[in-house]
Chain A
Amino acid sequence: MNPEKLCFLKKSSLTIGIFLFFLIWLCFPSSKQSLLDIHQPYNYIGKNGMVVAAHPLAANAGLEMLKKGGNAVDAAVTTAFTLNAAEPFASGIGGGGFMVIYIAKERKVTTVNFREKAPSRASPNMFIENGKINEEWRKTHGLSVAVPGVLAGLDYALKKYGTKKLSETMAKAIEISEKGFQVSKTFSAINKDEYEKLLLNAGESSCYLNQSFPYEPGDIFRNPELARTLKLISRKGITVFYKGEIAHKIVKAVKSKGGILTLEDLAQYKPVEQAPIKGTYKDYTIFTIGPPASGGFHVIQLLNILENWPVKEWGLNSTAYIHHFSEALRFVFADRSHYLGDPDFISIPIINLLSKEYASHIAGQIDPARPLDFYPYSEFHEQENAKENTTHLCVIDKQGNIVSLTQSINHFFGSGIVPEETGFLLNNHMDDFSRNADSPNAPGPKHRPVSSMGPLIMFKGDMPFLALGSPGGTRIFSSLAQIIVNIIDFALSLDEAIESPRFFSYSSQGKARSIFVESRIPQSSVKDLEIIGHTIQVRQAYDRYFGGAQGIMIIPYTRIIHGGADSRRDGCGIGY
């Protein structure tokens, strides 16, 4: 055949081939999705630095800061502000949080507590109406709003441990708020779920709704009011938020919804730098933030209990593993409700609760064959006077400094209340106080509610090994402990450990509650757990209910850094 004819035939076949491909692609849209599986475990790799966060724009903003010469704290603060713009339903300057910082040069770990505080008029019975708890008051009313701490906390960390100005760390968030970005499926789904609250409190004309309706995937979300607010703070500093015109707008918005937050409450807010609490699991040491944060604290408790059992032999997500882990969780919840509160106001037996002896005692009470009938809290005769719905990000810089930061406005879209023309959402963290007026975690003036957040940094010997954290309410510590066991005992890579199917259980007033499992947990385990007496509730394959963990792992004896980001949300990592 002559070459021209051959060439023509080849071109024709190619054209027809391309045409058929597009035709099939259009006719079977599901094939578009199968080309890209977001749940496939993927470890982001870097040598000089890494940022992982719940949104690609935020991770990218953090990495740009690192490349500009900022350290891990500069990049973490930049990422945190950018999350306010890119993932506004989960965190922002209307909320609070915690961070764990490792300063490589000094080999020092410290923590910053910027948890919200209750207004000074808060009281144990503030949510009682006609003898009953009013759930709306706890969640979508002005009374649900606590004094925000994010801005004060980030500013504190930046001034003490960062190298950049506040305005530099806010620049990307301002740019993204102005230019906007495409709404993801996650954003759209959460926006739809919270539509009623947004209609009620933010109003139909709010930027959090698209012409009165929830955003659809692919829509452009812009928040010019947030951009103006951040610009104002960039120019005038955080005083404008706590004592100036923004403070007035916050108080006005909260009062108009029936709340009790005052200008004095805002003016008096201060973040706290506190020593970390420490625990061990096998050859690893865990540093995390202590109460009122409880996530890391309970991770240590859980891992202490798990150390008593042959977890590796049982196997990942085996019946024995899920049974024992769930039983341990139920004991942890019993202690949580009895002991945890704001350590500024109550005494918590931290040393006893985190001791290996206590963990061994709990492990000894667990029946390998069936769930218990009752899960009591433990009594400590000599108490040590140890007064010592969220997003997570991790950063490591070239010098080896690390930040593990969790921040939140509590439920998705917080209280739904947006102070006039500010573009940011106020938290509903007053809902984290106990419903029981006699609880150590009952609402009280200037008390910080117990939080399940638990940013942590793990070390092997003297070397940092893993930075980890997650949103997910009371599922946080269960999910974090499972990820750590996945890595240490089951030898999974970081992102495999994060994407692995999860489960959760708890106890309430000493009684067992269901085990909630992702549908990917083996059917055989589910059936066997039911046979031995557990009630199982199966949730989606990758369910946001179990959190959205982000982590950074430093591969021992190498300079390689792995980043793992959870596909249950829009997690993303970028290294360089």
Chain B
Amino acid sequence: MKKIILSIFILHFFIVSALLGQEKKDEVINIFEQPILITSAGQSAEVQIASVLAKRAGLSAALSKAAFANELKGIRTLVIVLGVSLKGLGAAGLDISQETNRVQILVDDAQRKNIPILCLHLGGETRRGQLTDDLINTFLPFSKMAIVVESGNKDGLFTSICKENHIPLIVVERAVDALQPLKKAFK
């Protein structure tokens, strides 16, 4: 009996470890160049978190919450922070369709100029919902890499989009944990 229970728990341990560690295996080093432009898709405050992370990582970064294509001049990486805040949109004087159009134009221009895109989702579970999911579905496929907070990927949305589009996905437990992968991702 003891052997059965022990075997079950060992099996349990391996299965759970494998499941939890699945997305964390991706490690992407030195694929992006500086300077970078950080912008929001959805005007959530996480764009500010990304800016502080970039500062801590010692990256040469400019923050423009509602950036336009002309701000891509001289930029080597575009960082898009995904997450809709109705409050943030209101403060920026934008509605969701205007915001989506703005980001689409920016992404199109970045693609034309061969500027790679790094997508971040740092708001976790509380920064999901239909509007955010629409932006994730629209813009994540354009990215060369994604870093997301684990609780925001509980339903595997990021995992499935990244898998489908062969995008390396780094899953971190908390927003602050994005610092190291961010540092490593840049030359």
Interface 9-mer from B42-50, B69-77, B107-115, B139-147: B42-50
Q: Is A134 an interface residue (CB 8 A)?
A: no
| Across-interface contacts of B20 in A (CB, < 8 A) | 26
| Across-interface contacts of B127 in A (CB, < 8 A) | 189, 192
Interface string of A187-227 (1 = CB under 8 A from B): 01100111110010000100000111110110000000000
Q: Is A345 an interface residue (CB 8 A)?
A: no
A212 touches B52 (CB 8 A): yes
Option from A22, A192, A545 in Cβ contact (under 8 Å) with B126? A192
Option from B4, B5, B52, B126 in Cβ contact (under 8 Å) with A185? B126
B155 touches A30 (CB 8 A): yes
Interface string of A21-34 (1 = CB under 8 A from B): 01100110110000
Interface 9-mer from B8-16, B27-35, B97-105, B159-167: B8-16
Option from A26, A188, A214 in Cβ contact (under 8 Å) with B49? A214
Closest to B173 in A: A216
Q: Is A314 an interface residue (CB 8 A)?
A: no
Interface string of B109-133 (1 = CB under 8 A from A): 0000000000000011111010000
Number of interface residues of B (CB under 8 A): 32
Minimum distance in angstroms from A286 CB to a CB of chain B: 32
| Across-interface contacts of B129 in A (CB, < 8 A) | 540
Option from B9, B85, B175 in Cβ contact (under 8 Å) with A216? B175
Option from A23, A30, A213 in Cβ contact (under 8 Å) with B15? A23
B49 touches A22 (CB 8 A): no
Given A192-B45, A212-B52, A15–B8 Cβ distance below 8 Å?
yes
**Cα distance A29–B16 when bound, in Å?**
12
Interface string of A328-360 (1 = CB under 8 A from B): 000000000000000000000000000000000
Option from A8, A11, A29, A214 in Cβ contact (under 8 Å) with B175? A214
| Across-interface contacts of A161 in B (CB, < 8 A) | none
Minimum distance in angstroms from A345 CB to a CB of chain B: 31
| Across-interface contacts of A210 in B (CB, < 8 A) | 176
Minimum distance in angstroms from B171 CB to a CB of chain A: 13
Q: Is A560 an interface residue (CB 8 A)?
A: no
A199 touches B16 (CB 8 A): no
Q: Is A374 an interface residue (CB 8 A)?
A: no
Categorize the interface residue count of chain A.
20 to 34
B155 touches A216 (CB 8 A): no
Among residues 8 to 63 in chain A, which have CB atoms less than 8 Å away from a CB atom of chain B? 8, 11-12, 15-16, 19, 22-23, 26-27, 29-30
Option from A11, A23, A29, A193 in Cβ contact (under 8 Å) with B12? A23
Closest to B124 in A: A216
Closest to B122 in A: A192
Option from B4, B16, B44, B86 in Cβ contact (under 8 Å) with A192? B44
A15 touches B49 (CB 8 A): no
Q: Is A255 an interface residue (CB 8 A)?
A: no
| Across-interface contacts of A545 in B (CB, < 8 A) | 86
| Across-interface contacts of A196 in B (CB, < 8 A) | 45, 48
Q: Is A231 an interface residue (CB 8 A)?
A: no
A22 touches B48 (CB 8 A): no
Q: Is A435 an interface residue (CB 8 A)?
A: no
B1 touches A29 (CB 8 A): no
Minimum distance in angstroms from B27 CB to a CB of chain A: 22
Q: Is A228 an interface residue (CB 8 A)?
A: no
**Cα distance A368–B93 when bound, in Å?**
33
**Cα distance A11–B48 when bound, in Å?**
54
Binding site secondary structure of chain B: helix
Q: Is B184 an interface residue (CB 8 A)?
A: no
**Cα distance A193–B126 when bound, in Å?**
11
Given A30-B154, A212-B52, A216-B174, A193–B85 Cβ distance below 8 Å?
yes
| Across-interface contacts of B85 in A (CB, < 8 A) | 193
Q: Is A539 an interface residue (CB 8 A)?
A: yes
Minimum distance in angstroms from B164 CB to a CB of chain A: 21
Q: Is B87 an interface residue (CB 8 A)?
A: yes
**Cα distance A199–B87 when bound, in Å?**
18
Closest to B155 in A: A30
**Cα distance A23–B18 when bound, in Å?**
12
Closest to A11 in B: B1
A26 touches B19 (CB 8 A): yes
B45 touches A23 (CB 8 A): no
**Cα distance A15–B4 when bound, in Å?**
10
| Across-interface contacts of A16 in B (CB, < 8 A) | 8
Minimum distance in angstroms from A507 CB to a CB of chain B: 18
| Across-interface contacts of A193 in B (CB, < 8 A) | 44-45, 85, 87-88
**Cα distance A371–B92 when bound, in Å?**
29
| Across-interface contacts of B125 in A (CB, < 8 A) | 185, 217
| Across-interface contacts of A213 in B (CB, < 8 A) | 49, 52, 174-176
Among residues 511 to 548 in chain A, which have CB atoms less than 8 Å away from a CB atom of chain B? 539-540, 545
Closest to B20 in A: A26
B52 touches A12 (CB 8 A): no
Closest to B52 in A: A212
Minimum distance in angstroms from B116 CB to a CB of chain A: 26
Closest to A32 in B: B154
**Cα distance A337–B5 when bound, in Å?**
72
| Across-interface contacts of B1 in A (CB, < 8 A) | 8, 11-12
Minimum distance in angstroms from A560 CB to a CB of chain B: 36
Closest to A194 in B: B45
Option from A30, A194, A539 in Cβ contact (under 8 Å) with B86? A539
**Cα distance A26–B18 when bound, in Å?**
12
B123 touches A192 (CB 8 A): yes
Closest to B46 in A: A192
Most chain-A Cβ atoms within 10 A of its Cβ — which of B19, B85, B176? B176
A29 touches B45 (CB 8 A): no
Minimum distance in angstroms from B128 CB to a CB of chain A: 11
Minimum distance in angstroms from A126 CB to a CB of chain B: 22
| Across-interface contacts of B123 in A (CB, < 8 A) | 189, 192
| Across-interface contacts of B126 in A (CB, < 8 A) | 185, 188-189, 192, 217
B16 touches A23 (CB 8 A): yes
**Cα distance A188–B85 when bound, in Å?**
14
| Across-interface contacts of B44 in A (CB, < 8 A) | 192-193
**Cα distance A185–B8 when bound, in Å?**
34
Minimum distance in angstroms from A177 CB to a CB of chain B: 24
| Across-interface contacts of A217 in B (CB, < 8 A) | 124-126, 151
A-B pairs, top 5 by smallest CB distance, nearest first, are: A189-B126, A195-B45, A196-B48, A213-B176, A29-B154
- B residues at A contact (CB < 8 Å): 1, 4-5, 8-9, 12, 15-16, 19-20, 44-46, 48-49, 52, 85-88, 123-127, 129, 151, 154-155, 174-176
- A residues at B contact (CB < 8 Å): 8, 11-12, 15-16, 19, 22-23, 26-27, 29-30, 185, 188-189, 192-196, 199, 204, 210-214, 216-217, 539-540, 545
Can you report 5 A-B residue pairs in the complex whose CB atoms are below 8 A from each other? A12-B4, A192-B44, A211-B176, A213-B175, A214-B45
